[in-house]
Amino acid sequence: MSVAIVILNFNGKHFLEKFLPPVIASCPVGSIYVADNGSSDDSVDFLKNHFPEVHILLGEGNLGYAGGYNRALKSIQADYFVLMNSDIEPSENWLNPLIDYMESNTQIAAVQPFILDYQNPSHFEYAGAAGGYWDQLGFPFCRGRIFDTLEKNNGQYKTSLVNWATGACLLVRADLYWLVGGLDDYFFAHMEEIDLCWRFQRAGYQVAAVAESTVKHVGGGTLDKANPFKTYLNFRNNLILLYKNQSGLKKYVIILLRMAADGLAGIKYLTSGELSLIWAILKAHFSFYSYVLFQHPKQNLATELVRRTDINSYSKSIIWDYFIQKKKKFTDLKF
C-alpha cells in the first residue's frame, strides 16, 4: 500500500512555510508532493531550498483545482491519493484512521477527516465540516455547517457515510479516481469534489467522513467568498453538477427550480447593492447553457456505463428549513 499526499500550490509560499512542516511531521517520508499550478511567486525556489525531501511537480499555467490535480496525479503512482489544500494543519495522527477505514471498507471510494476551523478549533470549518450532503435542489451543506452557521465540535457526529467529502483534505482510491474520470477540468474550482463523489456513488461506491481524524483549515486562501469569480463558479458549477448527475425529467425540473432560486439570490444581492454578484450569476447561467450545448456532449465518463440513481440525499429544501423553519443545525433536520 502506498499513499501520496499531494498539495496543490498557487502563489502560496506563506501557507507552505507555515503548514508544510506539520504535514511532513505527520506523514510517511517520501510520500509528499507539492504540485505547482503555475505560480508567479518564489514558492518553488522556497521549496527547493527548505524542503528537499518534498517532491515538486511543476505545471505550466493555472488550471484551477480540478485541472491542476488531474495534471499532477497523472505523474504519480500510488494506491491512495490525498488531495490536501496548502492551508491545512493536520493533527498528529490524522492519516492512519483514514487509511484504516478505507482498508476495512472496500466499497468506500473517498473519505475525509473532520475539518475544524484553524482560527477557532473548537468549531467546524465551512469547507467540509463533518461531511457533506445535498438537498433536493442540489444545495450543498454539511454536518456541523449549514450556510454560515458553524457548530461547535462536541463529538455529536460520528464516522458515517455522507454524500460528499471535501476537497480541502480528501483521500481517494487512485484506481477508482481514474475509473470515474477524475475531477472534471471544466469546473476549474468549487464543487468539483462534489461532482467526483456523486460519480463515485453512481458507479456503485460510497463516500464517508471519519471522526477519528481531524485537521484544521484556514479557508478562503485562494478566493474570498465575496469575490464575484467565486460566486460565478459556485452558481455555474452547481447547475452543471445537477445536469451531469441527475437523469430523466427530474433533472430538468430540478434545474428550473434551481434557476428560480438563483433569481431570488439575485434579488437579495440587488437589495444589498452587490451588483457585481448579480452579474456573476447571469454569467454563470449563460456559461451553463454553453456547457450543455458544446462541452457536455464531448465528455465520456466511465460512470455513464454503470449508473445508480438511488443515492440517498436530503429530500427536502435546506433553504426552507434554514431560513423559514429556523433549523440551524444538522441535528434539527429530519432525513
Residuewise pLDDT in 10s, the chain (335 residues): 899 999 999 999 999 999 999 999 998 766 999 999 999 999 999 999 999 999 999 999 999 999 999 999 999 999 999 999 999 999 999 999 999 999 999 999 999 999 999 999 999 999 999 999 999 999 999 999 999 999 999 999 999 999 999 999 999 999 999 999 999 999 999 999 999 999 999 999 999 999 999 999 998 756 666 789 999 999 999 999 999 999 899 999 999 999 999 999 999 999 999 999 999 999 999 999 999 999 887 775 555 556 777 788 999 999 999 999 999 999 999 98
For 106, residues 6+ apart whose C-beta sits below 8 A from its C-beta are none
Instruction: Give the C-alpha separation, 161 to 169, whole Å.
Output: 16
332 in a structural domain: no
Q: Let me know whether 32 and 176 are in one domain.
A: yes
222 in a structural domain: no
Q: What local confidence, expressed as pLDDT, does residue 28 receive?
A: 78
State the CB neighbour count (10 A cutoff) for residue 81. 24
Boundary (domain end) residue, out of 217, 248, 279: 217
Q: Among candidates 222, 234, 280, which has minimal Cα distance to 258?
A: 234
Number of domains in the chain: 2
Q: What local confidence, expressed as pLDDT, does residue 105 receive?
A: 97
17 in a structural domain: yes
Instruction: Give the C-alpha separation, 213 to 149, whole Å.
Output: 22
Q: What local confidence, expressed as pLDDT, does residue 35 receive?
A: 98
CATH (domain of 160): 3.90.550.10
Q: Let me know whether 193 and 59 are in one domain.
A: yes
Boundary (domain end) residue, out of 217, 237, 269: 217
Say if residues 33 and 73 touch (Cβ distance below 8 Å).
no
Q: Let me know whether 236 and 184 are in one domain.
A: no
Q: Let me know whether 292 and 187 are in one domain.
A: no
Q: Let me know whether 29 and 148 are in one domain.
A: yes
Q: Let me know whether 265 and 213 are in one domain.
A: no
Domain ranges, residue 246: 228-304
Q: Let me know whether 132 and 20 are in one domain.
A: yes
242 in a structural domain: yes
- Using DSSP's 3-state secondary structure scheme, residue 153 falls into coil
Bridge-based pairing of strands 206-217 and 108-117 is parallel
Q: Let me know whether 7 and 152 are in one domain.
A: yes
Q: Let me know whether 204 and 259 are in one domain.
A: no
Instruction: Give the C-alpha separation, 130 to 161, whole Å.
Output: 10
Q: Let me know whether 50 and 72 are in one domain.
A: yes
223 in a structural domain: no
Helix (H) or strand (E) holding 72, with range, is helix 64-73
Q: Let me know whether 54 and 74 are in one domain.
A: yes
Boundary (domain end) residue, out of 191, 217, 243: 217
Q: Let me know whether 200 and 269 are in one domain.
A: no
